[in-house]
Structure 1
Amino acid sequence: MRNPYLSIFSTHDLPSKTKELENLWDMYVVKCREEAILDKIRESVLHSWRRCHHAGVDPAQLRTKQILTDQELNHLLKTSEIYRVAKPIIDELFHKMSETGHLITLSDQNGRIIYLKGDPPTIRSAEKMNFAAGMDWSESTAGTNAIGTSIVTKVPIQIFSAEHFCHGCHPWSCSSAPIFHPVTQEIIGTIDFTGIWTHAQPHTLGLAVSIAQLIETKLAESYLEKTCHLVETFFRSTDKWKTDHVLVLNRDFFVVKSSEKLAHFFKLSPASKLSNHPDFQSLIKDYIHAPQDSSSNPVANACLIQNFLVIDIEPIYFHKALAGYLIVLKDADAGRTSESPSEIAAQAGPWAEVIGHSKSFAAAINKCRKTASSNVPIIVLGESGTGKEKIARTIHRSSNKHRKPFLAINCGAIPKELVSSELFGYERGTFTGGMAGGKKGIFEEANGGTLFLDEIGEMPLDSQIHLLRVLQEREVTRLGSSQPIPVDVRIIAATNKNLLALCKNGGFRKDLFYRLNVVSVTIPPLRERKDDILPITNYFLKQFVEKYEKSSLSISDHALSFFLEYSWPGNIRELQNVLEHAVIFSESSFIKMEHLPSYLIENGNHLSTDDAVANMSPLDAEEKKILLQLLEESGWNISAVAKKLNIARSTLYRKLKKYRLRLR
């Protein structure tokens, strides 16, 4: 039995083969005598003709329809995994088969051509029947053809001359092989070789099959790399969200890993498609498929799924491309008796991990929250260690750009001569030793998202003009190129310097300062927000207890009193490091002074033993006297004294500080 996928088996006497097929086509289409051709034409072609007839395809059609605009095609190419993998393979192959009279095309699963390579004369000829990128070559639109018919039949096929259902395709021969997804085994595209029938070769079908298999292999390798990255993200996230439930999906919404409770409750298994799960359909629709500029967020809208509350949804990126999604859920009834779901969600949103309620800090955070939904530049000011990058990331996560990348660059760490190439990228051949294909700059990488320019005050003066131009014109030009590239990037800058003073001294461009300084937020140092030391301490203490698998661990009254007295020149970063050191070296249920780093004790701001409040009011003097009496009676037990006075421990600590009373 002859190969049913091939139309021609040799190039001998192709004109006779063409004439025979024309007669068979005329018999079926014009004379409607199907019975006369039953044993004379391939069964697969006849079945395709029947489908075209039933679909109402016009056999006299000379060209197919355009299905994608240039803008839609460009957007598709930016997100298409098959295009990313197949393009270099097609380009390399074309170099070896140019001037053969054949076009190489890549289509998607709907038969839309998304990429095409060929010699200019062949391309011009093919354009007469709209065989070009963006055109619809599905069988139901373009009639019997290798691309559309291989998608319907799910097998490779060669269509020669008048085997095409539409008359406009009769001068051509095409060979197409479907490309299958490495996991779902669904068709995700085709590879096709098309040329004038006089150039037809039987081996083009085998070549199409080989290239399709090579693309499938590359896709499988890429899929495996992404899956490993998603699995690693899952385990890192379960360490972070130990009391909650984590779910990681790939970009097609298939489950990669799930917490045990979620898997059991929702009957999830690896490769379950969450967008088909009735409990998750609205979440996928509202979050993933919401308009890109939408400010709605299911977390902020209190998304409840059965007995679980969605508290965080984050895109996961791999090599700057979207790889999947992280979803964190919490038991909706865990410890919640009076809070409404909307109140719970508001507390659990992106700002939940920004700890602090002191007046100055709350004012700064409120300003950030109000500005997050806009697209204006923000300058975050503050000393080193105050958490400027964390706040910038939280602004991004609560903005309408939260699905796009957040990229950070330290302007003070880039050598002066590399600033331009890092920010704007370069074309191939611009530098000796540069990347062979050129390199995207960080503005291109962050397109659609947020770029965090840390230490902006350290940027070299002669590099600032380039940054200013990007902000003004919203486009970048790679080094070695004259072609501008549009970018949409939200800028958040940070510095611990006084930029206005730098402007006056000539160290920073005034025009750049005014361009960046649309909104400025000052994060107060920790010494000015002492009320936040206790909640921040508890927050980090819980993290490190879980990280180092310690049993329940508390901080002693003496150590906590020291924390409240100390000036914390390294701010939150220093407090975090001190607590991690203490948790590591603590061998009891309490963190004591001896568990703190030695430098802290040696350089700490100890309170003076003399009375620095000589001008104390009579009322304050009496309060201090009562405090001393109660402390002595209780053996300096802070909890007992606070209970006796019916005040919070934090309030008592403030009074101890006020009256310069040291714990013994």
Structure 2
Amino acid sequence: MLSTQEEVLEAWKAFIARGVILTNKVRPEIARSWERCKANGLDPWSLDFPIYSESLLKEKRAKYGQLLTLAGPIMNFLLTLLDCNISICNLEGFVFELITPLKHYPRSLGTYANEFTSGNGAVTIVLNEKIPCRTDGFEHYRMVSQTYSDVSAPIHSNNTMIGVLNAVNPFGCLPNQALPMIIAADQILEDLLNNNGGTFKPFIDSKAFQDMIDCSSQFVIVLNQEGIVLAENLASEQLWEPSRLKNKSLANSLIHKGDLSLLLDKDTQNANHRDFLIKELTSGKKQSYLRCVLLRKNRILLPNGDVYTVLVFDPFSLKDEAGNPSNISQKPAKYCTPAISRDVDYIGESPAWTKVDRMIHKTAQFPSNVLLQGETGTGKEVVAKAIHRLSQRKGSFVAINCGALPKELLQSELFGYEEGAFTGARTRGSIGKFEHAHEGTLLLDEIGEMPLDMQVALLRFLQERTITRINSTKSKKVDVRIIAATNKNMAELVKSGQFRQDLYYRLNVIEIELPPLRERRSDIPLLANYFISELSKQLKMQPKEISNDALKILCQYDWPGNIRELKNVIEKAMILSDDQKISPEILSEYILHWSPDSTPSKDVNSSENLSERDHIIQTLEKNNGNIFQTAKALNIARNTLYRKIEKLNIKIKTSAFKDSK
């Protein structure tokens, strides 16, 4: 039985409130784990975690020394493939080994995982039920664990269960194939434990190992110390003929020969997120290649002294001839000219952006509606795409600007129409954005601009999850995750009657506020260098270096147009600079002369004592309501002027005027 997270949440609430099991909404093994937790007197709202015991950890490590030696390489493979916490525990649930991609994760190592103190999860279900298991989100009994996704499998030695192998993502959803992957990893470990010779036997050629890496939808290649390809997974083989790389040096397939030393370097972080060009076979004389981005690499030491380097490449870096991400279920297109590298989700390391990043990862795994709020240019659509990608929903990401279309067209765009619905309609009708985004994500951009009658239709969809095309009487069930985005103050729109309160609460299940660039200035150098790298590919230019003085000026500017404005400034600077360095004098004049104390320019007829509102109105009147000319006269960006007009309640028709009161 497959249930949605919404159904599981309904079942969890029913059990916590009334002790009732909704058998049609929750799996039997999950229901049994809830009942055990309740019988043990565990508080579902508790925030405590088991206490770490260093003495017990030393004792268990010594007792299970051989198991740790054999399990170490396999756990490191899982860490690289899944990028999450990998742990191992004994039959009492004591976790005596944990490896993690996180800088600090103290919760489970050296503690007991049980349904008396820590609640349920895949590991506790395996310990009780003796079968492999996966748990996600609201299947966890304790609320504090409901951001988790975890898979576990029992470890047997000579047909006797001795422990459990676990993979846990505390902040997001594990991929669909995580459970078969850990089962395959568990089989490798059991084969090693049951090896009668007692000596370590390399497992890389085993069927279980191939099954484990084949479970990954990303492209996986394993190298020895000389750069010879020892293994590649099915996703990798979709790029070229099966086993084209195996038993050959990867250097032969790299456009840049020096890349191999970078990939084999002991520093596991130095090559991450870099592009690597891999040669493709072609029938003609032209050399074609695929551009891949390295997500992760790991050097894995085996008990016999061998060293493997496992490489995980991002499938979204592959482009078709139009520059769009390829579908990894099909063989990616070949091309002979450089392609623009993949669109990254977002870039930032500042505290303000780290908070957003944490929200994105926690939010992605659940189907709840999300409201993104932030100034123009802060990256709302980029964040929406990131949430969709991390959610691993099977359908497409679809976006529509609610403020760009009249209400008649907006209705047909959202719900679709049948033949003859209106003059100019297609003869066979057309599906709407809701249908197009089935099993995917729909971004409703500029949601604050949506007409009131369309708000009613959207509210009805959110309640019923069905659509009816224009000129049709048939309704259709649609599974769509809704993300809404706006640069307006939604609470104020509700207060003024421009937006329905009930719809606002429906959309605002999870709210993510994107900080303006001026509140994350430490990210400006990262973004500037990223745009230089990307624009050099788009413009077919040599990458340019930006001087420290120019970066300092960029970091001081207030960026009313946010990231979008920064990208435009970088593009202009790259085009206008004559050498390979972007220096301050190349930057736009308004950035060079900007300072926090800058004041709008005034002509001789304006009064020094005018309020900001009156001054803007006067300048608008002088320019006949022309926003561009007014912004130029005030020495501010157009987006800033629009925000001030809205904030100061200035009305514009053919010209600006003061409200009569």
Superposition TM-score, scaled by structure 1 size: 0.42
- The structure that has the greater radius of gyration is 1
Superposition TM-score, scaled by structure 2 size: 0.42
